[in-house]
A and B are shown apart, each in its own frame.
Chain A
Amino acid sequence: MGRDYSPVIEGGFFMQQLVQTNLGIEPTVLVEIYRQMARIRAVDKRIQAGLSAGQFLFSYWPMTGQESIPATLAQLINARDYMVTTYRGIHDQVAKGVALEGLFAEALGCIDGVNKGKGGSPHISDPSSGSMLTTAIVGAGAPIANGLALATQLRAEDRVTVVNFGDGATSIGAVHEAMNLAGVWKLPVIFLCQNNQIGEYTKIPGYTASKDFASRAAGYGFKGVRLDANDVPAFYQGMKTIVQEIRRGEGPVFVEAVTQRLGPHAGVGDSHELSAEELKAAKEAWPVPRIRALLVEAGVCTEQHLAEIDEAARAEVEQAITKALARQATPKEEMLLDVYADPSVPPRRGHYPCREAEAAHTGPTKTMLMLEAVRDAQDLALAQDKGVFLLGEDIGDPPGGLFATSKGLQTKYGQARVRPTPIAETAIIGAGIGAALVGMRPVAEIMFNDFAGVCLDQIFNHAAKQRYMSGSATHVPMTIRMMVGGGIGGFGAQHSQSLEAWLLHTPGLKVAFPSTPFDAKGLLLSCIFDDDPCVHLESIKLLRGVRGEVPLADYRIPLGVAKVRREGSDISAITYGWQVQECLAAAEELQKEGVSLEVIDLRTLVPVDYHRVLESVKKTRRALVVHAATEFCGFGAELASTINEELFSTLKAPVARLGADYAPIAYCREIEMNQIPQAKSIAARVREVLAFKE
């Protein structure tokens, strides 16, 4: 849309000032706001007409009534500024400048959609216009917006990040965690609550006793402002001041933009939640017709000029939708593309690529504990790439992380790049995702993998899926380090689990689980410089309990390459993490009985190295999968099943599993040590497999 239209004011600067005084806003700006509202209105009307006629079918959450908010903001921000919004956000996309044809094609599930039809109407990402991420999980955008704002702050840019969410999102924990973190870090972010008075199907005060939301900001130590979004000139003036403050780096602002949703939660037509009287009053207060009338009344526009604006918007929308309807639906061949940058990563039956192993290392080494190797990897990454930064609970000096994996790094690299956080895992992961979306390489520490439960939404629905949902328009090159308990005793049921199966069951994540200091450094460096989200699992038992020779230089262990730890001929034990040590101890014991156990260390769980696993089992013709995680529905079930399917005719016995018994991990040592596989129980299970007779 060109800005070729001038208001019909004559008389020069003085007249402009006079009209502005009466309107409370520069007339030209009000015309531009109306132009954006007209575009949004045209999009809304055309979609509702098409859905009503059955011309097309897609999920639609109408934002009718909320047009003035992004239309106003569009006068104050530009494509360099970042935006995050929600599924009820087509008005935000239109005003931010997402091309309408790509937007419609996306909603229609077409390959030419802005996200290849893989995200659809609720998941728009268009970095070229600054529309970075659209979430269908209420409140989940706020932690991610922090990361975008953090990247801006770290790069000393003057971009504003705006995260839109509805009033309903003020109830959810993610918004609380995000606002607290933004306050601590003084992030340049606007938390823009579009208070449309209804959370999905429930009206205020049905879900909150709060009288307003803006006053909550004071509790986080920053400014909260309640603005009437239906009073467009006043809303513009309020937002103008706020945007200026954010650009000056004065910290976050919470804006409660009060309006009224006129439509239903989903679908078309009028709200089912409002009474006839409420709906009538809401339509009278609706800014679209009101601003139109105001522009005529103030003598800024004639009816004819406004009709031209409306017609231009209608024609723009019609042209875009006509083109989009002619587009090709996204073909099924696209299914496994955009899960990762590398299309060979998704596991597929019958496709077992052989990835090249690392070269033998030469050069100086040092004996290190695994925790020192992890620290060394982070040290090297921080030194060589300005985009790398660390965040997590207690990672600053002192103590340098609960397990000292970042000890000394904050002292060396400063508070900006080694960032201790509040105890708020959703805020930690969200900040990492946001920064990664704009090309940084965050390394987030989750102190125990058991805490994944409090940030699963950020990991599973956002980090893992963003590449796919955006059709690779964006990706998330972040690393999540998680410590894993087990085998130590006394940590209890909430600090001892091995939860890798949760991660493996989520397409989009890569997962590494080293068993030696050498592998920990090489795998972690590969994770940090990978272009997809990686989870690096670190066994607490190994961090503090295993020493090994570690090269001082940078080296990488490719993700997806297993390693034979001990050669054998009777049976292959396939394992990873701290269970590798247990299997090697079992092999020693079995050797005394004349049993030759081959031990395969997977090292990476996704991508999984089925090639080397199958090569080993082809040789030994027997296999046992061992892990510390609960056996039932664990990774062992997947591995055993694939080996059985591929090598059934070769096998001397069915592939067996050994994992933890099906109970939470006990606090008392006696139970835990019997519950999780140990050298003795592994050896016993091997003997059972060897005793199998057809």
Chain B
Amino acid sequence: MSTPLTIPRLEMAMTEGVLAEWLVADGAQVNEGDLIYTLETGKAVQEIQAPVSGRLMQKAQAGETYPVGTDIGEIV
């Protein structure tokens, strides 16, 4: 079962975020709690943790702005 990664709503007013940087390579093995990407919002820069362990599959380019809820990858 794969776990989707979507752009989260980190603050109530947040509508979009910048996927600033992937912190692990596409296809790499990650453990739950590992920092996997950096998300910039209007307020802050947040390092996002892996929700589960598995292989990280990237689906979105870093450096781009995405609306909240956009599918950016999955952990399989």
Contacts and interface: CB of A to CB of B under 8 A. Distances in A.
Contacts of B49: 49, 52
A268 B44 CA distance: 11
A59 interface: yes
Among A53, A57, A59, A264, the most chain B Cβ lie within 10 Å of the Cβ of A53
B46 interface: yes
Given A49-B49, A49-B51, A54 B44 contact: no
Chain A, interface residues (CB within 8 Å), range:
10 to 19
A54 B9 CA distance: 7
B48 A266 contact: no
A369 B72 CA distance: 73
B11 interface: yes
Contact of A266 (B12, B32, B51, B69): B12
Contact of A53 (B5, B11, B12, B68): B5
B9 A55 contact: no
B22 to A, nearest CB: 15
A249 interface: no
B7 interface: yes
Interface in A46-94: 49-55, 57, 59
A52 B44 contact: no
A673 B76 CA distance: 77
A219 interface: no
A55 B51 contact: yes
B10 interface: yes
A49 B36 CA distance: 12
B54 to A, nearest CB: 12
Contacts of B68: 54, 57
A248 interface: no
A664 interface: no
A264 B51 contact: no
Nearest to A58: B9
B3 interface: yes
A57 B46 contact: no
Among A51, A54, A59, A264, the most chain B Cβ lie within 10 Å of the Cβ of A54
Nearest to A50: B51
Contacts of A267: 9-12, 14
B4 A54 contact: yes
Among B3, B9, B14, B44, the most chain A Cβ lie within 10 Å of the Cβ of B9
A54 B43 contact: no
A289 interface: no
Interface of A: 49-55, 57, 59, 264, 266-269, 272
Given A53-B51, A54-B69, 13 more contacts: A51-B8, A51-B10, A52-B10, A52-B46, A52-B48, A53-B4, A53-B5, A53-B8, A55-B3, A57-B69, A267-B14, A268-B46, A272-B44
